[in-house]
Amino acid sequence: MDSFEINKIIAAILMVALLIIGISKVSDLVFYVEKPETPGYIVETDQVLKVDDPNVKVVEAKVDIAALMALGDVISGEKIFKKCAACHSIVKGGKNNIGPALYNVVGRKVGLISDYKYSKAMSEYKKAWTFEELNGYLIKPAKWIKGTKMSFAGLRKEKDRASVIKYLNQNSDNPLPLP
Ligand code: HEC
């Protein structure tokens, strides 16, 4: 094979490549379909799931707080509180830190400490720190009170929440009876 022939082969390959590119460009033009701005139908899987799945509703509607609290113990709670201690004091007469002082917090109205500057979300949240509220908040603070400035991911384990809530309850002038 002389070099002339090789050139011809290369030229042929190039031609084919160019043709393929050309055809795809042309077909793009011919078969171009404009996407509608709003699709004809919207599938909202999330909502459908929530409404249809009875289990989800039950879990959301009612937490068996007595059973949950029974999982925890004060000793573990004290250990878990180390995560909170970066921002909160717990002793009687303790000062506000990044977060408000937590002595006596169980049963207290939300956002009650007068010399602490709460987020708008928390100061407008007109409830008290019952066992249920604390449990809900501590699962995922930002989800329970949207706009809270407590930047803490949450305690995923039920036992951890129960323990730390028991520990909070102990650090009080009047610990509430457990549910
Ligand atoms: C990174 C700092 C930080 C950590 C860690 C943290 N908190 Fe907080 N916490 C805050 C801040 C800030 C607020 C005030 C929230 C607001 O105003 O929205 C707060 C508020 C609270 C409140 C409401 C108190 C009141 O007076 O109404 C409770 C209860 C609470 N935290 C419990 C906990 C517990 C329990 C933990 C550990 C499991 C924890 N926090 C971990 C910063 C923190």
pLDDT digits (tens, 9 = 90+) for 117-169: 999 999 999 999 999 999 999 999 999 999 999 999 999 999 999 999 999 99
Q: What is the pLDDT of residues 12-56, one digit of tens each?
A: 888 888 888 777 776 666 666 566 566 565 555 444 444 445 554
How far is CA 79 from its chain centroid?
Answer: 23
Rounded to the nearest whole angstrom, what is the distance from the C-alpha of residue 65 to the centroid of ligand 1?
A: 21
Query: Which range, of 38-42, 62-66, 105-109, averages the lowest pLDDT?
Result: 38-42
The residue type at 29: L
Residue type, 85: A
Q: Which atom of ligand 1 is least distant from the CA of 134?
A: 29
Contact 159, 72 (CB under 8 A): yes
Nearest atom in ligand 1 to the alpha carbon of residue 129 is: 29
User: Who lines ligand 1 at CB under 6 A?
Assistant: 83-84, 86-88, 98-100, 102, 105, 110-113, 118-119, 121-122, 129, 138, 148-152, 155, 164
- Structure-token pair, residue 53: 């799945």
Nearest CA to ligand 1 atom 38: 84
Using the mean position of ligand 1's atoms as its centre, give its distance from the Cα of residue 78 in Å. Answer: 16
Spatial distance between the Cα atoms of 64 and 73, rounded to a whole number of angstroms: 17
The predicted structure's pLDDT at residue 7: 86
